Amino acid sequence: MSQRLTLTGIRFAVLCIVTSAVLALPSPAQDIPVAAISKDESSVKFSVKSSIPVAGTFEKWDATLTFASPDVTTAVLDIKIQADSVNTGSGLKDKTMKGKDYFDVKHDPLITFHSTKITQTGPLTFDVDGDFTIHGVTKSEKLKLDLTVEGKDEAEIKGTMFFDRKDFGMDKNIPFVTVADRIEVIDDLKVKKVSGPRLVLKQ
């Protein structure tokens, strides 16, 4: 009986030691920056040269920025745009862009960008390589970012990406409008740190 009690006591002591050691370890979440993108202060726009100016914005989209460490190059940027939310200010242009020759929103409701590599090119500039999907086609594209630090816990990210619409199967013109092949996408994102350490940037 005493031997059984002794073994039970040893097991309990070991359990207490292991539990204390685990609780004493720093939480990974405390070592990783957590950021949120303020949609009310952000926008996703596009423009293209044409015989009649074509530019617009997307009213519905989501974006996340996650980090694996305080090193800013470990970030992963994900942008998901509801293609049906395109707004050019023209009903005819919107209808054409939602149709099968452009976004084809019935079959491909999302336009997405998922970053695969971030390279710091200057004190506050970055090249972001990623997978860009539009019109059901995915290709590697590059987003160029400019970072503006606003106070201790806020920053503005302005990203610009150019792509050839014909590479994604969008080779038609808008009725009565001759559209260039090169399209510019502009992401203006307001980022706020929620918790964790500050990001580490190369000087």
Q: How far is CA 135 from CA 83, 85, 104, 105, 198, in A?
A: 9, 14, 6, 8, 38
Per-residue pLDDT at 30? 61
Residue 13 lies in a domain: no
Q: Which domain holds residue 75?
A: 29-195
Classify residue 132: in a domain, yes or no.
yes
pLDDT, residue 4, reads 46
pLDDT at 56 (0 to 100): 95
Average pLDDT over residues 154-168: 96
Strands 125-134 and 137-150: antiparallel
The answer as to whether 43 is a domain residue is: yes
Residue 156 lies in a domain: yes
For residue 120, how far is the Cα from the chain centroid?
16
Residue 73, SS3 per DSSP: helix
Task: Return the pLDDT at 181.
Answer: 93
Nearest to 17 by CA among 5, 7, 9: 9
Q: What is the mean pLDDT of the chain?
A: 87
Assigned domain for 9 exists? no
DSSP state of 50: E
In a domain, 21, yes or no: no
CATH number at residue 102: 2.40.128.110
And the tokens for 97?
């862009």
Report if residue 201 sits inside a domain. Answer: no
Q: Do the beta carbons of residue 44 and residue 187 sit within 8 Å?
A: yes
pLDDT, position 18: 39
Which of 46-50, 150-154, 187-191: highest mean pLDDT?
Answer: 187-191
In the chain, what percentage of residues exceed pLDDT 70? 85
CA 116 – CA 118 distance, rounded (Å): 7
Q: Is the pLDDT of residue 200 over 90?
A: no
Count of the separate structural domains present in the chain: 1
Q: What is the CA radius of gyration of the chain?
A: 24
d(CA 144, CA 161): 6
Residue pLDDT, tens place only, 167-197 = 999 998 887 888 899 999 999 999 999 999 9
Within a domain: residue 120? Answer: yes
- What number is the average pLDDT over the span 50-76? 94
- 0.85 exceeded by pTM: no
The predicted model gives 12-16 an average pLDDT of 45
pLDDT value at residue 2: 46
Q: What is the mean pLDDT of residues 91-96?
A: 92
